[in-house]
């Protein structure tokens, strides 16, 4: 059989990001959240059962709004499978398939290969769809990392996303490889023997993917920067080959914070230096880092969440040292006042700590 048909792919335009989506300082006005030029279509509709303030649900909606209707989605077992797959009722207006927790990468590879073959054989007349798998950190960084790595290595034309709520939230808030140092989970409870809770630092998943698969587009982002998230979604889909995106998505149930603060946490984690936002260019093999206009002590982030409330001064100082190393890796000069906070003598127990509250961040959000 002659494979005479050419595979036609979509090209999604990027959104104007200048001064938008909380990427400016407080005094400029971080209330620019009404974005009338975004697509009206919502492939992720009402009808799901996620928790109030669910970070992954926000990520799902923005990713699919950016991708549009000509999209096929896979979802390995996790929070968003359970919350979005009530019998005979799902929130999707695009094709969606549940896969086993370990097979998100292999299933999506098969979907991509099948569309390529059907189009070339003339059995499918449409354009190549946007093929996306959205896997939680338990799948993407742990149980299913092998199948995703294999898909990236083979270069299947699809976007592989890790929505990272830093725990196995679906099954009871167990520790995952991306749970931060000091995180209180059901598997890492703080106590007299191990007062800090989790002893290990989180796995640097996105850097593993970029360094291990240098021919792929790789990016990180958070729900604190919606236009950045949507533009990186489109960049990953426009890239001819495999793309990977790591998205920070707070979990109100597991992290214990005020429900309206999900998007705020998505900004503060970046401003505290604990989740660097960047994209990797496979053509030049370089990283382009986003440097937030505000730099914060880690306490401004940690003290908002109950999962860190047990931390002692030495634990907070450990987190500050990790944040300062991240700033250094980004090429940012660390100010002296942040260096001083690496000393436990300059810290308090988190339960005694006060932190800065949002400044004009709820207006129009």
Beta strands in the chain (DSSP E): 71-76, 96-99, 130-136, 159-164, 217-222, 243-248, 277-281, 286-290
For the chain, percent helix, then strand, then coil, each to nearest 5? 35, 15, 50
CB 245 within 8 A of CB 162: yes
Q: What is the four-CA torsion angle of 59, 61, 65, 68, rounded to 10 degrees?
A: 100
Give Cα separations from 74 to 95, 230, 289 (angstroms).
9, 18, 29
What are residue 166's phi and psi, to 5 degrees?
60, 30
Q: What is the pLDDT along the chain (365 residues), one digit of tens a residue?
A: 555 678 888 899 998 876 555 566 655 555 555 566 788 889 999 878 899 999 999 999 999 999 999 999 999 999 999 888 877 778 999 999 999 999 999 999 999 999 999 999 999 988 999 999 999 999 999 999 999 999 999 999 999 999 999 999 989 999 999 999 999 999 999 999 999 999 999 999 999 999 999 999 999 999 999 889 999 999 999 999 999 999 999 999 999 999 989 999 999 999 999 999 999 999 999 999 999 988 999 999 999 999 999 999 999 999 999 999 999 999 999 999 999 999 999 999 999 988 887 655 544 33
Q: What is the pLDDT of residue 20?
A: 52
What is the model's pLDDT at position 211?
Answer: 97
pLDDT of residue 363: 41
CB-CB contact of 44 with 71 (8 Å)? no
Read off the pTM. 0.93
Tokens read off for 163: 């929505």
Of 268, 350, 311, 301, the residue nearest 182 (C-alpha):
311
């Amino acid at each position: 059989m002659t494979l005479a048909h050419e595979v036609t792919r979509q090209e999604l335009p990027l959104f104007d990001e200048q001064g938008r989506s909380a990427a400016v300082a407080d005094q400029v006005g971080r209330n620019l959240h009404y974005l009338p030029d975004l697509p009206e279509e919502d492939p992720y509709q009402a009808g799901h059962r996620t928790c109030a303030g669910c970070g992954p649900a926000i990520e799902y909606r923005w990713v699919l709004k950016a991708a549009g209707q000509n999209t096929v989605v896979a979802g390995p077992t996790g929070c968003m499978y359970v919350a979005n797959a009530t019998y005979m009722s799902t929130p999707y207006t695009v094709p969606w398939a549940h896969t086993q927790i370990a097979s998100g990468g292999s299933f999506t590879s098969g979907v991509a290969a099948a569309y390529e073959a059907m189009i070339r054989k003339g059995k499918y007349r449409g354009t190549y769809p946007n093929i996306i798998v959205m896997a939680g950190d338990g799948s993407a960084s742990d149980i299913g990392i092998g199948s995703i790595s294999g898909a990236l290595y083979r270069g299947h034309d699809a976007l592989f996303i890790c929505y990272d709520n830093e725990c196995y939230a679906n099954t009871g808030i167990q520790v995952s490889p991306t749970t931060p140092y000091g995180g209180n989970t059901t598997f890492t409870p703080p106590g007299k023997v191990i007062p800090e809770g989790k002893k290990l630092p989180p796995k640097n998943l996105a850097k593993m993917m970029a360094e291990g698969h240098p021919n792929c587009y790789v990016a990180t982002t958070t729900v604190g920067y919606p236009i950045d998230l949507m533009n990186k979604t489109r960049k990953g889909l426009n890239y001819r080959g495999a793309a990977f995106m790591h998205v920070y998505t707070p979990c109100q149930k597991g992290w214990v914070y005020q429900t309206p603060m999900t998007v705020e946490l998505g900004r503060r984690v970046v401003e505290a230096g604990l989740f660097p936002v960047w994209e990797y260019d496979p053509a030049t093999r370089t990283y382009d880092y986003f440097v937030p206009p505000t730099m914060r002590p880690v306490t401004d982030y940690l003290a908002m969440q109950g999962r860190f409330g047990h931390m002692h001064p030495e634990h907070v100082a450990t987190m500050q040292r990790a944040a300062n190393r991240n700033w250094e890796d980004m090429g940012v000069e660390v100010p002296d006042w942040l260096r001083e906070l690496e000393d436990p003598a300059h810290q308090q127990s988190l339960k005694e700590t006060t932190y800065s509250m949002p400044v004009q961040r709820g207006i129009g959000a």
